[in-house]
Amino acid sequence: MTARVLTWMLEQLRLNSPIVLATVVEAKGSVPGKTGARLAMNRYEEWVGTVGGAGLEHRVLNRCKEMIQENKATSEVHTFGLNKGAKGYEVQALDSLCGGRVTISLELMLPMPHVLLMGGGHCSEAITKLLPTKGWSYSVQDTRKEFTTNDLYPDAIERHHSTVESFFSNESAETMTRFSDVLLLGHDYSEDLDRLQRLLHLAESANLSLDGKVFPRIGAIGSRTKWNSFSKSCIEAGIQASTLGDVRCPIGLNIGAESPEEIAIAVIAEILSMHKNADVHAPNWRDR
């Protein structure tokens, strides 16, 4: 059971889902779950494993759901007395006749970013040289085969040589949640506009926010003039202004970056700040 729970947990993290892992760390007396029993829950409140069932597990599952909603990496320990008369300031009494005592640790683990680079080239290459050093994952998509090769992107989780239409024909709002961020870095204005509109239509059709959790954050490289043109085309395509307001263009913290290497630093710093919910005081993107 432990191997199954841990394998499932790692797969859920790979799919960009936070995970709560509950583990029985100590058991005394008559208890339903023995030391080492584990249970894991994902963002959809699906779970595998068990910490013993009955009222104990019900209480643990409810706390797992709360921690998933809070979405803050943390850990905590709870001790339960399996008797409604259990006493002690550190013991939570349960309406049970077992009479034993069990201590359970709960840990919320957040997935590391998985960045989809849509459009290969100098900036994409510079970004991907830094991502693995942080333990982050990346994938790449480009309409040009020579910009999706193993030589250019040796650490890519996925490499997609495809048209924009073909790529999105195999995607849904749910499948796109495996990415924390999508960066539009294409060489062609029309391709990036097509990517942007398809991404935003997916998010709006499922009523999802671009928060990096239930749907990827979206950023595009370019000037304010390019963004104004993007915005006009998206509004004409029926996309809501409020959804467009969550797209970052130009991407990256404003550090005066000019070279692809400097842009890569600015982009990764920006993603890191959002991943950690850091309060970064920087000029508004639209004001640059």
Q: State pLDDT tens for residues 224-282.
A: 899 999 999 999 999 999 999 999 999 999 989 889 999 999 999 999 999 988 765 54
Residue with tokens 């709360």: 66
Residue 92: predicted pLDDT: 47
Residue 285: predicted pLDDT: 44
Q: Is 258 exposed, middle or buried (0-12, 13-18, 19+ CB in 10 A)?
A: exposed
Q: Tell me the whole-structure pTM to 2 decimals.
A: 0.84
Per-residue tokens: 235: 């509004």
Among residues 122, 130, 275, 155, the alpha carbon closest in space to that of 142 is found at 122
Question: What is the rounded distance in angstroms from the CA atom of residue 157 to the CA atom of residue 202?
Answer: 22
Residue 276: predicted pLDDT: 84
Residue 102 has pLDDT above 80, yes or no: yes
Per-residue tokens: 55: 């009222």
- Give the Å distances, CA to CA, from 274 to 188, 248, 279: 27, 12, 9
Once rounded to an integer, what is the mean pLDDT over residues 50-77?
89
Residue boundaries of the structural domains of the chain: 2-109, 114-287
Question: By mean pLDDT, which of 71-85, 90-104, 195-209, 256-270 is the weakest?
Answer: 90-104
Choice between 80 and 172, residue whose per-residue pLDDT is larger: 172
Question: What is the rounded distance in angstroms from the CA atom of residue 118 to the CA atom of residue 184?
Answer: 5
- Give the Å distances, CA to CA, from 219 to 14, 34, 212, 275: 21, 47, 11, 14
Among residues 63, 49, 58, the alpha carbon closest in space to that of 107 is found at 63
Once rounded to an integer, what is the mean pLDDT over residues 194-214?
95
Residue 91: predicted pLDDT: 46
Residue 84: predicted pLDDT: 56
Residue 54: predicted pLDDT: 75
Beta-bridge partner residues of 138: 115
Once rounded to an integer, what is the mean pLDDT over residues 169-198?
95
Residue 237: predicted pLDDT: 96
Among residues 155, 156, 213, 167, the alpha carbon closest in space to that of 192 is found at 167
Residue 189: predicted pLDDT: 92
Residue 286: predicted pLDDT: 47
* Fold of domain 114-287: Rossmann fold (3.40.50)
Helices (H), the chain: 2-14, 54-70, 122-130, 164-169, 189-205, 224-236, 241-244, 260-275
Provide the pLDDT confidence category of residue 71 given band limits of 50, 70 and 90. confident
Percentage of residues in the chain having pLDDT higher than 90: 70
Residue 82: predicted pLDDT: 67
